[in-house]
Amino acid sequence: MIFKKVKMEDWFIKNTSCKHNFSESGVPDFTLDEFFQKIKINKSVLNNIFLGNNSTWGSSGLRKEVSCTYKDVKPNNLIITNGTSEALYIFFNLFLNSKSKVLLLYPAFPLLYLIPQALKAKVYFLDALRYENKAELLEKLILKINKIKPNLLIINIPHNPLGFTFNEKEIIEIAKTAKENKVDILFDEHYRFLPINSTKKIFTSGYGIANKFYNRVFATGSVIKCAGIVGIRAGWMIADNNTLNKIRDYKDHITHCVPLISEVITGLAVSNISKITKNYIENIKNNWSILKNSKLVKEGKIILNYELEGGCVCFPRISGINTFKLAEILAKKYSISIMPGEVFGKSGYIRINLSQKQKEFGNLLRKINHIIKNYGKV
């Protein structure tokens, strides 16, 4: 397998020393102390964690905890993996080859197409930025599924970096079309625990909706980016028994298991999720509203696209300055990191994280305005 470079990681490494971080796709990460203060549980619960081998399936405790966040998923319908990256890597290796066709909305989290491409699958991209409204996007997606009849359709909701999600009706339409065309569906639901709406409830999984009438549905899930524990590196995959058994066997050849200490912290994050995300969700909503009402948007220097419905990032278009230059000036001059769209193959756009405090976010917007004025083309 020949892998193309993950440009996003290069950008993170280059800007790791920036004081103000708006380039990540997750909420700000905790220290261990801060995490336990947030969930109001005594850290001594870690004292008796076994440091020997953990089950390759994941501990029964975490599988149970995760299954409770879905409607019809039992602990033995899922496997715990080292980040969802491991789940995706194994899943793609099991399902794809040089004859496979994959359909994916673009821009997208790079591993969703880089691994299929490394396996020589043909990846079809549907450029979501050409549509700017979800009804139109959905219509094009349905047309594409019917036309391409891919072996695998990847649906990432809430979407990184575009921030939209599909509701139950939309998911049913997608899944029915997939079923008619015998297309497997993989839901990547990394940001399911960050609903940006009035319900305060985590999103119903696309898996649960589609699986009621179609059995070729799979899902990956995670809490680490929504709960500020990215370094804990746990994720999961939901699939049929046969696929889960193969994933388990595959894990024997690579990481074997997720350390129990990571799983215990992940379980605590899942069971205390609303305590953890409450303030972040408020920040995201406030900052999104500040952005929408900002002078930058009113003057057309920032052009928004999809309404933010979930997760903590958006991907606006910037006018008047090269976005790579904007990101470089922000980093070098002000120690602020954002993600230039170039990293996603989308020059003219930036990905910004909305979960920081309002004051910090306001400062970011002021600096962007200043840089466009002073360094942009008039």
Ligand X SMILES: Cc1ncc(COP(=O)(O)O)c(C=O)c1O
Q: Which residues bind ligand X (CB under 6 A)?
A: 25, 83-85, 109, 156, 160, 188, 190, 222, 224, 235
Cβ of residue 156: shortest distance to ligand X, in angstroms? 5
**CB of 103 or CB of 296, closer to ligand X:** 103
106 pairs with which residues across the strands? Answer: 127
Q: Shortest Cβ distance from residue 192 to ligand X (Å)?
A: 11
Residue 259 CB, shortest distance to ligand X, in Å, is 15
The b/e string for 309-321 (b: 16+ C-beta within 10 A; e otherwise) is bbbbbbbbbbbbb
Helix (H, G, I), strand (E, B) or coil at 104: strand
Strand-pairing partners, residue 236, are 80, 221
Cβ(312)–Cβ(284) below 8 Å: yes
Here the tokens at position 43 are 């850290």
Nearer to ligand X by Cβ, of 109 and 218: the residue is: 109
Cβ 146 to ligand X shortest distance, Å? 25
Q: Which phi and psi angles does 123 have, rounded to 5°?
A: -100, 125
The residue whose two tokens read 């890597």 is 89
Query: Which residue is nearest to ligand X, using beta carbons?
Result: 83
Closest to ligand X by CB, 121 vs 224, is 224
Q: Which two tokens stand for residue 102?
A: 């994959």
Q: How near is the Cβ of 8 to ligand X at its closest, in Å?
A: 8
DSSP H helices in the chain: 7-14, 32-39, 60-67, 83-95, 111-118, 134-148, 168-180, 206-210, 241-251, 260-271, 273-292, 295-298, 323-334, 358-375
In terms of CB distance, is 301 or 351 closer to ligand X?
351
Q: Give me 88's structure tokens.
A: 């995706």
Find how far residue 172's CA is from the centre of its chain.
Answer: 21
Q: How would you label 185-201 residue by residue, b for 16+ Cβ within 10 Å and e otherwise?
A: bbbbbbbbbbbbeeeee
CB of residue 121 to ligand X, shortest distance in Å: 17
Tokens 């019809």 — which residue? 72
CA 12 to chain centre: 16
Rounded to a whole number of angstroms, the minimum distance from the CB of residue 30 to ligand X is 16
Return d(Cα 311, Cα 308) in angstroms, integer.
8
Closest CB to ligand X among 108 and 371? Answer: 108
Nearer to ligand X among residue 102 and residue 329 (C-beta) = 102
Task: Indicate the residue among 291 and 339 with the shorter CB distance to ligand X.
Answer: 339
- Residue closer to ligand X by CB (options 84, 356) is 84
Q: Quick one: 118 exposed, middle or buried, by C-beta within 10 A (0-12, 13-18, 19+)?
A: middle
Task: Provide, rounded to whole angstroms, the least separation between the CB of residue 109 and ligand X.
Answer: 4
Q: Which is nearer to ligand X, 57 or 344 (CB)?
A: 344
Least distance (Å) between residue 139 CB and ligand X: 23
Of 239, 134, 136, 141, the C-alpha closest to 181 is 141
